[in-house]
Amino acid sequence: MIIVLKPAISGEEKQKILDKISALGLKTIVSQGVERSIIGVIGEEDVLRVQPFEAYPGVEQVIPILSPYKLVSQEFKKEPSVIVVRGVPIGGKDVAVMAGPCAIENYELLRDIAREIKRCGAQILRGGAFKPRTSPYSFQGLGEEGLKMLQQVGEEFNLVTVTEVMDPRNVGLVCRYADILQIGARNMQNFDLLREVGKAKKPVLLKRGLSATIKEFLMSAEYILSEGNLDVILCERGIRTFETFTRNTLDINAVPAVKQLSHLPIVVDPSHATGKWGLVIPAAKAAVAAGCDGLIIEVHTHPEEATSDGDQTLNIATFERLMREVRPVAAAVGRAM
């Protein structure tokens, strides 16, 4: 249920409504819109239906939400959300670019990559400190040491940082070092982890699961928002299909579909979606043309020497070309990079 408040509602009137909802054992999420404030009420529908909230002074309208993902839906918030992280907007007119290595390998290498992606126009440095790998014998990341490197390099080059958190027990640790918490595809339905990042005060980048439907994707985002964290960025990174030539299949339909269903921004990961560096630029162009709010690209100074995902990683020259070729596409659809 959504309670739409009148523009002139007093603080006392608003608090009375919140106190009443709390007394019923229900949860609230308050969102400030362009013209109106709204209260999202989460709980048993039977309890909500019999409450005369429209009788309260300061209430303009009470609207039931029909979709299963209440807070994620456009019924809850009609204006597209813009998540601003240290001055960098994700959503709105600008197309944000996140770039960096799949895994943080050492400080000097990360610094070299950060310097180059910054020069090319990226605003966000990505890098994995904890790496979920198919094989237990593959490189698993540097852990906290990698997080420290990411923070230091991000501060030096004034880049927002994003890195994956895999374990609910590590959320606090990653929050100390990174600006954005990433939930990887394999953890999209790790509900304990989703709840934990929902309690954190950091934006969350949620990747779509390998075989998840769009509804399941949005329901996972709902877990995060239901805990009070409204700063969620969705990420389409390709889904598993019968095709074996590419690592995954980029579901370009997901971008406009999410835009129709949800107010949350959505970025696209053409590196994981294709698994082949030679396909990343065309996929990135398609994603921007479809209306995505950002790109997340794997970049390395020497991809052939990368500890993971070298096949899908761009070298600096190719990343520079991507930025140069995607900008006109963004401009053609009324966006900027």
Instruction: Please report how many Cα atoms fall inside a 13 Å half-sphere around the Cα of residue 48, on the Cβ side.
Output: 17
**Do the Cβ atoms of 299 and 319 come closer than 8 Å?**
yes
Structural domains of the chain in order of their starting residue, each with its CATH number: 2-63 (3.30.70.1140), 83-332 (3.20.20.70)
State pTM to two decimals: 0.89
Classify residue 174 by burial, with Cβ atoms within 10 Å: 0-12, 13-18, 19+. buried
Highest mean pLDDT among 40-49, 75-84, 123-132, 156-165: 156-165
| pLDDT value for 329 | 98
pLDDT in tens, 103-141: 999 999 999 999 999 999 999 999 999 865 556 655 557
Residue 97 phi, psi dihedral angles, 5° rounding: -125, 120
Output the six-digit token pair for 263.
Answer: 């107010």
- State the greatest distance between any 2 C-alpha atoms of the chain, in Å, as a whole number: 66
Task: State which amino acid sits at residue 198.
Answer: G
Task: Write down the residue that tokens 């813009």 correspond to.
Answer: 82
Alpha-carbon gap, residue 258 to 260, rounded angstroms = 5
Task: Write down the residue that tokens 């991507």 correspond to.
Answer: 322
Pairing label, strands 83-85, 88-90 = antiparallel
Pairing label, strands 266-268, 294-298 = parallel
pLDDT in tens, 189-240: 999 999 999 999 899 999 999 999 999 999 999 999 999 999 999 999 999 9
Residue 33: count other Cβ atoms within 10 Å of its Cβ: 12
Please give the span between the terminal C-alpha atoms of the chain, in angstroms, as a whole number: 37
Average per-residue pLDDT for the chain: 93
